[in-house]
Structure 1
Amino acid sequence: MSFFVRPAGDGDRYAFGGATFTVKASGTDTEGRVGVMEQAAPAGLTVPPHTHEGEDEMFYVLAGEVRGFCGDEHFTAATGAFIFLPRDVEHGLEVVGDREATLLTIVGPARFDALVVEQGTPLT
């Protein structure tokens, strides 16, 4: 594992699930420990209920607002909020309001980042 810095706007970009993901640190970069992506999600985007088996998912809301659920709990999170979604618990979310949401998406151990790369559409 090597040190690196990814400047603002740098990183491989993919269209996936209606959002644009910019990979900041992949599982390959971190020996599988963590994946970090910047996600730009348009207003109205809905991520349907799903579960990450054996992988925690976290979001830091950089801009905008999202609403969602994790298990039986419901939440709303705006700019500056941090969301932790534990592994093996069903969750989903949607972008609320009339503007895009930007989220720092963190997963560990790193799996979802590989899915974005494998199934997403590379963007130039």
Structure 2
Amino acid sequence: MQLQQGFKSAPNAENTRAIPGAVFNFLSMGHETEGRQALIRIVVNRGSEPPAHTHSREDESYFIIKGSIRYTIGDQVITVNEGEFVYLPKDVPHSFAIQTEQAEVLMWLSPAGLDQWFWDNSVPAPDGAPLPSPAGPPPAHVIEHFVTSLREYGVEMIRN
């Protein structure tokens, strides 16, 4: 089935979800674009970054709306500030570290797919607030769930 019309989207109570330390607005999901792309607005607190990982299915791109983020992409280290864009190709290990207290970004996934993982592993947040960040590292069973479920989406966590 070919898409027959466009659509518009904005952050709202129905597309706002949270995890500890971050809030997502799902502006465009794969089920709306025939899997071509997904676009998610994310507000994330420093200290809520995931460990280094590699995507085997999608490229990731970020436009920084507010804040500053240092990305490590393979051997490359790039600091990306407000109003700047960064591209992270699939099959290249990467990580990021928020340099400000909080960052606001647009994350574009191409093709879509991983957006569903983010949706499934977050909770509704109609108030637009993140879940509280845990004190200390997550429990072992939570880490194992993320590692195993992300692997099903083609994402491999890099363990040190």
The equivalent of 1:82 in structure 2 is 85
Find the partner of 2:116 among 114, 117, 121.
Answer: 114
Partner of 1:73: 76
- How big is the alpha-carbon RMSD for the aligned residues of Structure 1 and Structure 2? 1.5
Letter in 1 for 2:116: A
Check 1:106–1:17 CA distance in 2 against 1; reply closer, same or farther (3 A cut): farther
Q: Equivalent residue for 2:141?
A: none
Q: Give distance in 1, aligned partners of 2:120 and 2:77.
A: 31
Residue 8 of structure 2 corresponds to 5
TM-score (norm 1): 0.90
Aligned to 1:102: 104
Greater strand share, structure number: 1
Please report how far the alpha carbon of residue 47 of structure 1 lies from its aligned counterpart in structure 2 after TM superposition: 2.4
User: Which digits, 9 at most, give the CA deviation of each residue in 1:46-89, with x for residues without a partner?
Assistant: 22101111210000001100012011111111001101000111
Moved over 2 A (4+): 43-47
Question: In 2, are the aligned partners of 1:44 and 1:96 still within 8 Å (CA)?
Answer: no
Does the 8 Å CA contact 1:16/1:116 hold for their aligned counterparts?
Answer: no
Aligned pairs, number: 122
Alignment of structure 1 residues 23-102 onto 2, 5 Å: 23-97=26-100, 99-102=101-104
SS of the residue corresponding to residue 106 of structure 1 reads strand
Q: Following TM superposition, by how much is the alpha carbon of 1:17 offset from its aligned partner in structure 2, in angstroms?
A: 6.0
Distance in 2 between residues matched to 1:114 and 1:102, nearest whole Å: 20
Q: Which amino acid aligns with 1:79?
A: E
- Map Cα deviations across residues 1-57 of structure 1 (whole Å, 9 max, x no partner): 3321113x3361122363211100000110000000000011343221011112100
Compare 44-53 and 26-35 and name the one that shifted more.
Answer: 44-53
TM-score (norm 2): 0.71
Q: What amino acid is aligned across from residue 87 of structure 2 in structure 1?
A: F
Q: Secondary structure at the match of 1:89?
A: coil
Distance in 1, matches of 2:20 and 2:89, equals 21
Unaligned stretches of 5+ residues in structure 2: 127-160
